[in-house]
């Protein structure tokens, strides 16, 4: 009997068709990878199985969990099914737990809701489960609160509550997308181990082919509410029958063409010299002041004309703090930052506005980084505030036209509002906003991390082409090593506020020297490696 | 937790000192000579000199402040100029009405607002939600003295269940005293309940959309189980803030209602003191209210900490 079988699943939300004729099966002890870009319907498929669909949803077809058809069940029976027969893990571990309850109570709740055992017995089960997911008692007592834990640890608690009653089916919706690569590798290991040992079926939903490549027994590729191709992982990877599958693969492994290798110039575009960033910590009490926290510790490096430099490291390593310091958004506590040989900012010295204007930034979130009440014209011309005599009239229009054309949009887009654009187009507008002032350096802070792979490939191509043509330099900050590998010439690896290794990109990835770099590279799921692995 | 309490307590004490200084300076220094202010422009020079002596206005400023604070600490608020009795007696009489009235109104307001807000949030856009929203809109818009007069008309004049005003005193027994406070408490509570119900509703609706609510449902909790166990406590913080503010407002803000019901409360006392230019009473009531507000803020802080463990955490 299969853990999950879905046939002819159709779903409408407020009359709008979201899923067409989905067919999927998953056997106990196996992993089904569901892969697709945003809007493909992969999360809605999962929520259909949980029967936690948004209001106004209307579904038809058949969903069987462990042989039991869901269509005959009333709400009470569905509540009994959720958590007991099907467990679910969500993408965002930081918000998936209730902040006001202890982790013990939250895991125990799954047990208490379904079995009616005493609180003590339920807490004993919770203890076992937390041990099982790698949160031992001495470091993670039951009375800890979620805010005491890191993202990876919280995700382990979410897993513990999902598996507390050993359900036949586990659904994981992007369980590692919000986590660092090394944490991702640990969580994926944990999930795989649970599936094999407890004989659960795991439906693993992800946008990242590389994640499922090494794990899943079968794969379903979804696009716009349909399963376009499904089958055993190796077969799908070998044959790639459907054009969309091929497109997804090539976009995932996309390496943009770089026209030429940048030559080291006499004066680097950016020179970061012994930079220190300290954070004041809150006082322990009224009388004891605490030493400041050193987020960036004597960091120094250079970026040359037309060079793309990557900065990688896990969350909390100081890479975003360093980016803010370079952009003179925060004052330095030591060292100095020079652009084309001129000091932009140094310890105790504010930023020089005209020089500062020549460094621009593109942030991660294409939705949050624009004021929704301004037109594109006003949004892209924001950097002109930094210079003394900004262009006006015809000249301003010409600059807007050029910046928008440069990123593949047109001048007619200047009078639209930001909500009229897709995520990929918004990121193009963010790049246009950076380009309009003809900068020497653009800091790209996780600039492609929120984009679907096909859009990401286009933006990477655009960035590579702009760098070649305009002799632009990039500081490319990302937690995604495969993207950094695709676009940068040189890489800096940051850990605990220091640069622990730097080198030419290919060299560094092939032959990492520092143990931390080695761990990062080893933890990164690789599509190539999964494809090249011999058939079992 | 202890550190949190100590920190809060310390900041509470500092606020009190700061508030007493501000009140002292505003009352004593800014409007010129308090004695001539109290007696008016055509005052008899002899009476003026006597009052100045009584108020100790010939002493240097810092000494006057210290004497005043030392008096406050011993419960000596001075003697009222108009009533010729110790201010502490005046105030304690009035507090015995205003404080119970405030607590009564606050309890009613909470009892009405919580169920209304919860039902409205849980059944969003339903008929129940729309009625709650409509009723609270009216409750916020209509002034409370109008409610008070309607209540008097219906329950005192037509039905004769309650008396139309006055207060028999606590000596008359708990029941009759409480009964006399019932109509004023309802009149005070209705607008506050409307505000509170709206805050409860919107805070709960925000919480119901949180990720952890979906997690709770995925564990097998029913919609209402998830609401009671997971949403309510998280939604409480803004509600507690409003309750704290309402307490401070009701304690002295009930003056119109006190007038409608002929209740000798704090609001009426301070109003009369202001019209009679009795600065001694005014500043005593003001410092008392400040003290009450600060204590309530402290209690609300404690309630926050009880509701949300993140606030209990000792900062590392």
Q: B296 and B241 in contact (C-beta within 8 Å)?
A: no
Give strand pairing partners of A494.
A499
pTM: 0.82
Tokens of A79: 């509540």
Give the whole-angstrom CA distance, residue A2 versus residue A201. 8
Query: Tens digit of pLDDT for each residue in A243-302?
Result: 998 888 888 888 888 776 667 777 899 999 999 998 887 766 667 777 888 889 999 999
Residue A286 to residue B210, Cβ atoms within 8 A: no
**Residue B6: what pLDDT?**
82
Measured between CA atoms, the residue of chain A closest to residue B231 is A98
Residue A97 to residue B212, Cβ atoms within 8 A: yes
Asked if the C-beta of A101 comes within 8 angstroms of chain B's C-beta atoms, the answer is yes
CB neighbourhood size of B108 (10 A): 18
Give the whole-angstrom CA distance, residue A264 versus residue B41. 87
Per-residue pLDDT, averaged over B290-302, amounts to 87
Residue B219 to residue A285, Cβ atoms within 8 A: no
The whole-angstrom distance between B208's CA and the closest CA on chain A is 11
Burial of B159 (0-12, 13-18, 19+ CB in 10 A): exposed
Query: Tens digit of pLDDT for each residue in A129-158?
Result: 999 888 888 889 999 999 888 888 999 999
Residue B100 pLDDT exceeds 50: yes
Which of B208, B215, B223 to mutate against chain A (most A CBs within 10 Å)? B215
Residue B230 to residue A88, Cβ atoms within 8 A: no
Asked if the C-beta of A75 comes within 8 angstroms of chain B's C-beta atoms, the answer is yes
Q: DSSP states of B259-288 as a string?
A: HHTT---HHHHHHHHHHTT-HHHHHHHHHH
Give the whole-angstrom CA distance, residue B155 versus residue B163. 8
Residue B217 to residue A75, Cβ atoms within 8 A: no
Asked if the C-beta of A113 comes within 8 angstroms of chain B's C-beta atoms, the answer is yes
Give the whole-angstrom CA distance, residue A100 versus residue A98. 6
> What's the Cα-to-Cα distance from A216 to each of A32, A206, B72, rounded to whole Å?
6, 11, 76
> What's the Cα-to-Cα distance from A327 to each of A7, A126, A276, A433, B123, rounded to whole Å?
53, 47, 14, 15, 48
ipTM over 0.90: no
Measured between CA atoms, the residue of chain B closest to residue A110 is B219
Q: Reduced to 3 states, what is the DSSP secondary structure of residue A195?
A: helix
Asked if the C-beta of A116 comes within 8 angstroms of chain B's C-beta atoms, the answer is no
- A-chain residues within 8 Å CB-CB of B234? 98-100
The whole-angstrom distance between B3's CA and the closest CA on chain A is 8
The whole-angstrom distance between B21's CA and the closest CA on chain A is 23
The helix (run of H) or strand (run of E) holding residue A505 is helix A505-510
Tokens of B73: 């600490």
Q: Of the candidates A82, A84, A87, which has its C-beta nearest B217's C-beta?
A: A82
Which of B212, B307, B313 to mutate against chain A (most A CBs within 10 Å)? B212
Give the whole-angstrom CA distance, residue B167 versus residue B96. 11
> What's the Cα-to-Cα distance from B116 to each of B130, B134, B135, B305, rounded to whole Å?
11, 12, 10, 25
Tokens of A5: 């079988």
> What's the Cα-to-Cα distance from A45 to each of A5, A34, A171, B78, rounded to whole Å?
12, 10, 10, 75
> What's the Cα-to-Cα distance from A54 to each of A18, B193, B284, rounded to whole Å?
12, 32, 58
Q: Of the candidates A84, A99, A282, which has its C-beta nearest B220's C-beta?
A: A84
In angstroms, the first-to-last Cα distance of chain B is 13
Read off the DSSP letter of residue A285.
S
Burial of B140 (0-12, 13-18, 19+ CB in 10 A): middle
Asked if the C-beta of B2 comes within 8 angstroms of chain A's C-beta atoms, the answer is no
Asked if the C-beta of A518 comes within 8 angstroms of chain B's C-beta atoms, the answer is no
Query: Tens digit of pLDDT for each residue in B234-249?
Result: 999 889 989 988 888 8
- On average, the pLDDT of chain B sits at 85
Per-residue pLDDT, averaged over B54-79, amounts to 83
Interface A–B counts its CB contacts (< 8 A) at 83
CB neighbourhood size of B156 (10 A): 16
Per-residue pLDDT, averaged over B174-192, amounts to 88
Per-residue pLDDT, averaged over A455-463, amounts to 89
Asked if the C-beta of B216 comes within 8 angstroms of chain A's C-beta atoms, the answer is yes
């Amino acid at each position: 009997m299969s853990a999950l079988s879905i046939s002819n699943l159709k779903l409408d939300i407020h009359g709008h068709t979201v899923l067409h004729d989905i067919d999927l099966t998953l056997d106990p002890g196996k992993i089904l990878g569901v892969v697709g870009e945003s809007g493909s319907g992969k999360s809605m498929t999962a929520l259909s199985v949980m029967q936690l669909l948004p209001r106004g949803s209307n579904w038809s077809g058949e969903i069987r969990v462990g042989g039991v058809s869901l269509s005959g069940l009333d709400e009470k029976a569905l509540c009994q099914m959720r958590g007991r027969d099907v467990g679910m893990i969500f993408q965002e571990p930081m918000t998936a737990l209730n902040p006001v309850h202890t982790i013990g109570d939250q895991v125990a709740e799954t047990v208490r809701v379904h079995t009616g055992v005493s609180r003590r017995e339920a807490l004993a089960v919770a203890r076992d489960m937390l041990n099982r997911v790698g949160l031992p008692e001495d470091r993670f007592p039951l009375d800890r609160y979620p805010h005491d834990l890191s993202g990876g640890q919280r995700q382990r608690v979410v897993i513990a509550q999902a598996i507390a009653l050993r359900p036949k089916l586990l659904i994981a919706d992007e369980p590692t997308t919000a986590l660092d690569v090394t944490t991702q590798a640990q969580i994926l290991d944990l999930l795989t181990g649970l599936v094999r040992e407890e004989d659960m079926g795991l439906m693993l939903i992800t946008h990242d082919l590389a994640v499922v490549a090494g794990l899943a027994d079968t794969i379903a590729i979804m696009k716009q509410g349909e399963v376009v191709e499904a089958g055993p992982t190796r077969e799908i990877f070998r044959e790639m029958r459907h054009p969309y599958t091929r497109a997804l693969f090539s976009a995932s492994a996309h390496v943009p063409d770089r026209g030429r290798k940048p030559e080291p110039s006499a004066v680097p575009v950016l020179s970061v010299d012994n930079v220190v960033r300290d954070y004041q910590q809150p006082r322990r009490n009224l009388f004891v002041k605490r030493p400041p926290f050193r987020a960036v510790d004597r960091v120094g490096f250079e970026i040359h004309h037309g060079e793309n430099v990557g900065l990688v490291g896990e969350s909390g390593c100081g890479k975003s703090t360093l980016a803010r310091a370079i952009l003179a958004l925060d004052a330095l506590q030591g060292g100095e930052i020079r652009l084309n040989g001129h000091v932009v900012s140094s310890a105790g010295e504010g930023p020089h506005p005209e020089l500062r204007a020549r460094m621009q930034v593109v942030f991660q979130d294409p939705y949050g980084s624009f004021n929704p009440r301004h037109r594109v014209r006003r949004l892209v011309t924001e950097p002109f505030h930094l210079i003394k005599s900004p262009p006006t009239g015809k000249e301003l229009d010409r600059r807007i036209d050029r910046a928008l054309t440069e990123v593949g949009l047109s001048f007619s887009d200047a009078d639209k509002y930001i909500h009229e654009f897709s995520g990929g187009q918004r990121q193009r507008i963010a790049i246009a906003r950076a380009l309009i002032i003809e900068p020497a350096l653009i800091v790209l802070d996780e600039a492609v991390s929120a984009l679907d792979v096909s859009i990401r490939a286009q933006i990477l191509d655009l960035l590579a082409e702009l760098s070649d043509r305009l002799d632009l330099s990039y500081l490319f900050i990302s937690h995604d090593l495969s993207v950094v590998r695709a676009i940068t010439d040189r890489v800096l690896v940051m850990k605990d506020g220091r640069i622990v290794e730097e080198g030419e990109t290919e060299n560094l990835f092939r032959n990492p020297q520092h143990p931390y770099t080695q761990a990062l590279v080893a933890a990164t799921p690789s599509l190539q490696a999964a494809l090249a692995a011999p058939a079992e | 937790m202890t550190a949190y309490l100590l920190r809060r307590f310390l900041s509470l004490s500092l606020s009190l000192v700061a508030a007493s200084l501000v009140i002292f300076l505003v009352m004593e220094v800014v409007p010129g000579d308090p004695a001539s202010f109290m007696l008016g422009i055509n005052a008899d020079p002899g009476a003026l000199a006597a009052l100045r002596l009584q108020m100790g206005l010939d002493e240097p400023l810092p000494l006057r402040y210290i004497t005043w604070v030392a008096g406050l600490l011993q419960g000596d608020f001075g003697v009222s100029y108009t009533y010729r009795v110790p201010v502490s007696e005046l105030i304690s009489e009035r507090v015995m009405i205003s404080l119970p009235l405030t607590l009564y109104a606050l309890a009613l307001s909470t009892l009405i607002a919580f169920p209304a807000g919860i039902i409205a949030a849980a059944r969003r856009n339903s008929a129940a939600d729309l009625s709650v929203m409509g009723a609270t809109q009216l409750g916020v818009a209509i002034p409370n003295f109008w409610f008070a007069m309607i209540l008097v008309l219906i329950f005192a004049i037509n039905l004769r269940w309650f008396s139309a005003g006055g207060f028999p005193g606590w000596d008359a027994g708990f029941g009759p005293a409480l009964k006399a406070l019932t109509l004023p408490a309802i009149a005070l509570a209705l607008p506050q309940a409307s505000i509170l119900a709206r805050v409860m509703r919107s805070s709960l609706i925000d919480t119901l959309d949180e990720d952890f609510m979906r997690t709770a449902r995925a564990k097998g909790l029913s919609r209402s189980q998830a609401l009671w166990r997971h949403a309510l406590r998280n939604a409480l913080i803004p509600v507690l803030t409003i309750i704290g503010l309402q307490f401070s407002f009701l304690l002295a803000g009930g003056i119109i209602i006190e007038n409608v019901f002929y209740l000798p409360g704090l609001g009426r006392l301070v109003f009369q003191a202001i019209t009679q230019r009795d600065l001694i009473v005014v500043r005593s009531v003001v410092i008392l209210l400040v003290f009450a507000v600060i204590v309530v803020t402290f209690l609300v802080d404690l309630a926050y900490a009880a509701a949300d463990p993140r606030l209990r955490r000792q900062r590392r």
